[in-house]
Structure 1
Amino acid sequence: MKDCFICEENIIHEDNIELIRNKMIDENEIIKLSNVFKALGDPTRIKILYALSLKELCVCDIANLIRMSQSAVSHQLRILRNLRLVKYRKEGKIVFYSLNDQHVVTLFNQGIEHIKHD
């Protein structure tokens, strides 16, 4: 039985390949994007990002909300911060986190819309 998901003839469409090859993002950008998607692949980080998509929160609040230690939350936030998905600000001895910019909000909301779409 033939698999209907592969080509039955091996024909290379050089014009398509050349068009895409000329527009392909560079390897460094591919790695950065891959790392962002890896970070988004963790349920704990998804919970944190979702909470931060609704409101700026301090580390204590995030830890309480997702029922994890502040140390564990801080570790996750460090990963998200290094990928520029979240930012922080200090107010005295309290550290508040929020999503880094509108791109992160859009990326996150698009993901939610995608999984809810039939």
Structure 2
Amino acid sequence: MTMEKRTQHELDEETLFVVSQTFKALSDPTRIRILNMLCCEEHSVNDIAEKLDLNQSAVSHQLRFLKNLRLVKFRREGTTLYYTSADEHVINLLHQAIDHAHH
């Protein structure tokens, strides 16, 4: 299907909301950095905070936002939560945007 044909379709309210929330998630530099980290392997909150030089509270806040949008998922090991990306489509969008920025 060509891009022209795709844009001719009307979008329902739910689709508009999901798309806008996805772009909202990708509009924040901290969330971009977190998603970029989580696209290849899982990390704990502390690991993300340390590697991105952020405080744990800020990372937890951003992960909660991403989890609510189902863009990340987690598993528990003891008292530690390990996060990873949960939506390959969004990761592909992120990587396309990064590639575009490099051109």
Residue of structure 2 equivalent to 1:65: 51
- Taking the aligned partners of 1:104 and 1:90, their CA distance within structure 2 comes to 23
Whole-angstrom CA distance in 2 between matches of 1:105 and 1:40: 10
SS at match of 2:66: helix
Q: What number of residue pairs does the alignment pair up?
A: 98
Return the letter of the residue paired with 1:46: I
- Matching residue within 31, 34, 38 for 2:20: 34
Q: Which residue of 1 aligns with 2:95?
A: 109
Q: TM-score, normalised by structure 1?
A: 0.75
Gaps of 5+ in 2: none
CA 37–26 in structure 1, closer or farther in 2 if over 3 Å, else same:
same
Compare relative contact order (CA 8 Å, sep 6+) and give the higher one, 1 or 2. Answer: 2
| Contact 2:22–2:90 (Cα < 8 Å) also in 1 | no
* Alpha-carbon distance between aligned partners in 1 of 2:30 and 2:68, rounded to the nearest angstrom: 16
Does 2:87 match 1:97? Answer: no
TM-score scaled to structure 2, two decimals?
0.85
Structure 1: any 5+ residue segments left out of the alignment? Answer: 1-15
Query: In angstroms, what is the RMSD of aligned CA positions?
Result: 1.7
Identity of counterpart residues, as a percentage?
49
In structure 1, C-alpha distance between the alignment counterparts of 2:92 and 2:53, rounded to whole Å = 26
AA matched with 1:105: I
- Shift in Å at residue 101 of structure 1? 3.1
Q: Which runs of 4+ in 1 moved over 6 A?
A: none
